[in-house]
Every structure is written in C-alpha cells, then in structure tokens.
Structure 1
Amino acid sequence: MSEVNACLKRSFMILTCLIGLLSGLTFGFTSFGHGLLHSTEEDIEHMIVLITVMYAVAAATLLLAAIGVYGAANDTSWPLIIFSTGMSLTVLFVAFDIMAMLVFKTMATEILSDENRGYWVTPLDTANETSIAGLKELQEILMCCGVDQGYQDWGEHIHHTCVCAEDLTECIPAPMNSSLYGNHTSGGTIMIYKQPCIPALVYHVHHLIDTLIAILSMVFILLSTTLVLAILILVQLRRKLNVPPVYYSAEAKAGNYSSLGENGDIE
C-alpha cells in the first residue's frame, strides 16, 4: 500500500503541532492566571467556571493534537477518526464563542450604561467615598471624567482624578468656579478630561471584544483547516484499503490461452 500524499501529511502535522503548542501555552497561561488570583487573595468564585472550561479545552485540544500526529505519522485511521470527531466539536465550540461575543457586543452599550447609571447617583460630590471609589480608579485608568455628562456629574467639586495628566486633545478647561482652583496657585488653566466614563468604558469593552473575536476567528480557521486535512488523509487511506490486490504469476504469458468457438468448443 502506497503512502499518503507527503505534502498533505506534512501540512497536517505542522498545523497540528502548532495547535498543540497553542494549547500548551493556553494551559500554561490559565494555570498562571489561576495562581495569580490565589496569590492576590482575590475572590475567584465567579471566575472558577471560566478557568475550568479553559483547562478542559486546552487539555482536550492538546490530547487531540497528539492523537492526530500519531495517526498521520503511522498512516492509521482510528486516531485520525478520533481527531476529526473531537476537532469537529472544538470547531463548533469556537464558532459558538464567536457568535456569543458578537451578540454581547451589540448588548454591551445598553448593559454597561444602565448598570453604571443606576450605580452612581449624581451629583457625585454628594456621594460617599465607598460608592465612588471605583469611579475614581476608572477615571485614572480610562482618562475620563464623570459618568454620563462629563465633569458636570461632579457638581461644583470636581475630583482631582479628572485632571489631565498630559496635554491631550481630549481635554477641556475646567470651570473657573470649580473646587480644583481652590489650591491652584500657578495661575494657569487646569485641563480636565472631556469624555465621560460610560462611553469610554463601552469603547474599551468593544475594543476588547473585537480583539477576542479576531483571535478566535484565526483559531477557527486554523482548526477548520486542520480538520479538512485530516478528512482528506482519511479519504486517501480508505481508497487504498478498497483497492483489490493484484498478484503476478509467471505463467501468465502472452499466447498461453485458447479461444472458444461459437458453441463453446475449443479451437
């Protein structure tokens, strides 16, 4: 029996090894993140389901990659059948994740806006420190000010985290009657962030989702291509198994036969 097409086999093994490498890296990063959450003593109960799924997918994909390479290297059908079945489920799982992220992206604006508007009550300068602690951190990270109406959400006492750290085009002069000028002795204009935090948060969430969708789309293409190659190898193996064996006989020489007449008599 002749071997499977060398180029087809080589391409399959290279892509499968790449999948195995990515699966190993995913498992390692998941383990590192899991340990990091434990070391920082953060509450990870809400993350445990995602961590478990990441562990399971990475381990299963790594095992499938090893089985696929073994089947291709030995021209064996059963490992490739297992690989194709498992990889089909993995491709469907990735496709489901992509669709879920696309749906969430369309809902992210409404969800984030409604939740944050209900959580932070304006004017912010009358709220207690506990309720606006997260907003202060958000203003420093996302370089924004206020919730939905910009600095106006702070009333007369604009928090110092709204002050621009650099000279940016997204900054505007702070009102002269704001509390920021109370201890300001340099005489210059104080610049504050123009963009409210809800639109800034929505923008960054959309950017994160787009990045994840792009990564998952490349993974989907890689897995789908490898699955197609595995099926092509299986097709070649099955065709070879169905070819009837041909035997050579030294007695089968030209002229060693007799023709039959019309009545079946030997002439």
Structure 2
Amino acid sequence: MAGVNKCLKYSMFAFNFLFWLCGCVILGVSIYLRVSKDARQNLNLDGTGLLSAIDLMIAVGSIIMVLGFFGCCGAIKESRCLLLLFFIGLFLILALQITAGILGVVYKPKIEAQVNTTLHERLPLSSQTEEFRQNLETIQKESKCCGLVNGYLDWGNSIPVSCTCSGANDISECILVQGRSVYKQPCSEVFTDYFKNHLVIIIGIAFGLAAVELFGLGFSMTLYCQIGKK
C-alpha cells in the first residue's frame, strides 16, 4: 500500500496554520471595526450595509479559524474525517465569499443613491439634535466638507465655523458665501467615497481568499485520497 507523501502532509499543515492565523486577523480586525465608535456611526449612517459586511467578516473569520484547526489536526493525525470536514466547510465558505464578492460588485454603483437617501432624511439640519450637529461639524472639519447633500445650503443662514475654508486650503475647495469662504464639497461625497473604498477592500478580501482556498481544497482532497490508499 502506498504511504502518505510527507511533503504534502506537512505542506497541508503549514497551509492550515497560516489559514488559521489569517482567520484570527480577520476576526480581530472585524470585531475592532464593529465595536469602535466614530462620528459616522453617531450620525446613524450604517444603513448602507457596511456594518452587515463587517458582521459577515466576523462570521468568516470565526469559521476560517475552526477550519484551520480541523485542517491542521487532519493533516498531522492523518484523519480522513477531519480532512473531509475541512473540505466541505472550506467549499461552503468559498461559495459564500464568491457570492458576497459578486453582490459587492453588483451593488457598488448603488452606494451613492443609498447614502443620499439616508442623508436626505436628516434634512433640515435645524431639526436635528445638538449631538448630531456637533458630530457633523467634527466630520466637516476633518474631511473638509460642508452640509450633507446640498453643501452649505443645508445649514440655512447659520453656517457653522467648521465649514470655514482657510487660506491654507486649495482655492478650488472653497466658495464665497455671505462674505465667508466655506467648503464647496458636501459631506455626502465624503461618505460615498468612504463606503466605496471599504467595499473595494471587502471585495478584494473575498476574491483574494478564494484563490488561496482553492489550494486548500486541492491539498485536502489529495491528502484525503492518499490516506485512503495507505
């Protein structure tokens, strides 16, 4: 009877150990993003689905850790049962990642419309709470924008100091209003760019991990067959 290829066996173990570490990193980063609070969350702008994507990444990271453990144990102990569980689990998560990546590509053009719809519900700004307006002013100062959708017009006649465009800024970023220089860009553009950039990262992770997981499927099934012939 043919023996198990030692090179393949330990390559499978090394692959799964790195795979397990990758799951730890994804889980840790995702949990940090989920529990951290920033001004965008305080403005309740999570309706665009970004937090849902982060929740999916938490699930993916957890499953990858479990699968990596199964793969390591299956390779070292030459257990066909663990290798089969690893193969089935990896195949299912691969299908989910490809689906998530395709959905991300399909829905990416709709982000701007979703952001604008959410922000329109916050107008007029005079009807919002003091906390909301303070959070928005913080974003305006940091992101060099003014207002939500219509720029400075969203503030009516009470344009805050955070909209002021100083002389150190590019002149193309400013517009003269009521004798003051204020930021021309509405904050909706900043939010749209933020969500699009993060969605690109999620799509990249989905398809990038898919390529790696194909090697894992090949390793596990080859080792599974070799153990069966031993």
Q: Which TM class, normalised by the smaller chain length?
A: 0.7 to 0.9
* Cα distance in 2 between the residues matched to 1:28 and 1:151: 39
Secondary structure at 1:114 match in 2: helix
Q: Determine the structure 1 residue equivalent to 2:207.
A: 217
More relative contact order, 1 or 2 (CA 8 Å, 6+ apart) = 2
Equivalent residues, number: 218
Q: Is the 8 A contact 2:2 2:226 kept in 1?
A: no
Output the amino acid matched with 1:11: S
* Cα distance in 1 between the residues matched to 2:51 and 2:203: 22
Point out the structure with max Rg over C-alpha.
Answer: 1
* Cα distance in 1 between the residues matched to 2:31 and 2:149: 38
Secondary structure at 1:111 match in 2: helix
Q: Structure 1 residue aligned with 2:85, among 73, 82, 102? A: 82
* Cα distance in 1 between the residues matched to 2:55 and 2:225: 36
In the TM superposition, what are the counterparts of 1:54-93 in structure 2 within 5 Å? 57-93=60-96
Are residues 199 and 15 of structure 1, via their aligned partners in 2, closer, same or farther at CA, if it must alter by over 3 Å? Answer: same
Q: Determine the structure 2 residue equivalent to 1:106.
A: 109
Secondary structure at 1:192 match in 2: strand
User: Could you say what the CA RMSD is over the residues aligned between the two structures, in angstroms?
Assistant: 3.4
Q: Determine the structure 2 residue equivalent to 1:250.
A: none
Corresponding position: 1:194 with 2:195: no
In the TM superposition, what are the counterparts of 1:55-204 in structure 2 within 5 Å? 57-121=60-124, 124=125, 127=127, 130=130, 132-164=133-165, 167-169=168-170, 170-175=172-177, 177-178=178-179, 180=180, 191-204=181-194
Secondary structure at 1:168 match in 2: coil
* Cα distance in 2 between the residues matched to 1:165 and 1:143: 10
Deviation at 1:81, TM superposition (A): 1.0
Q: Is the 8 A contact 1:77 1:237 kept in 2?
A: yes
Output the amino acid matched with 2:199: I
Are residues 63 and 103 of structure 1, via their aligned partners in 2, closer, same or farther at CA, if it must alter by over 3 Å? Answer: same
Q: Is the 8 A contact 1:142 1:201 kept in 2?
A: no
Secondary structure at 1:174 match in 2: strand
Q: Is the 8 A contact 1:143 1:193 kept in 2?
A: yes
Are residues 137 and 95 of structure 1, via their aligned partners in 2, closer, same or farther at CA, if it must alter by over 3 Å? Answer: same
Are residues 132 and 32 of structure 1, via their aligned partners in 2, closer, same or farther at CA, if it must alter by over 3 Å? Answer: closer
* Cα distance in 1 between the residues matched to 2:88 and 2:221: 10
Unmatched segments (≥5 aa) in structure 1: 181-190, 242-267
Output the amino acid matched with 2:176: A
Are residues 32 and 71 of structure 1, via their aligned partners in 2, closer, same or farther at CA, if it must alter by over 3 Å? Answer: same
Unmatched segments (≥5 aa) in structure 2: none
Q: Is the 8 A contact 1:144 1:193 kept in 2?
A: yes
* Cα distance in 2 between the residues matched to 1:195 and 1:48: 25
Q: Is the 8 A contact 2:111 2:192 kept in 1?
A: yes
Corresponding position: 1:3 with 2:3: yes
Greater helix share, structure number: 2
* Cα distance in 2 between the residues matched to 1:220 and 1:3: 30
Q: Determine the structure 2 residue equivalent to 1:228.
A: 218
Deviation at 1:171, TM superposition (A): 2.1
Of all paired residues, the percent bearing the same amino acid is: 22
Q: Is the 8 A contact 2:30 2:55 kept in 1?
A: no
Deviation at 1:160, TM superposition (A): 1.0
Output the amino acid matched with 2:145: C
Are residues 165 and 2 of structure 1, via their aligned partners in 2, closer, same or farther at CA, if it must alter by over 3 Å? Answer: farther
Secondary structure at 1:119 match in 2: coil
Output the amino acid matched with 1:172: C
Are residues 63 and 149 of structure 1, via their aligned partners in 2, closer, same or farther at CA, if it must alter by over 3 Å? Answer: closer
Deviation at 1:69, TM superposition (A): 1.8
**TM-score, normalised by the number of residues in structure 1:** 0.66
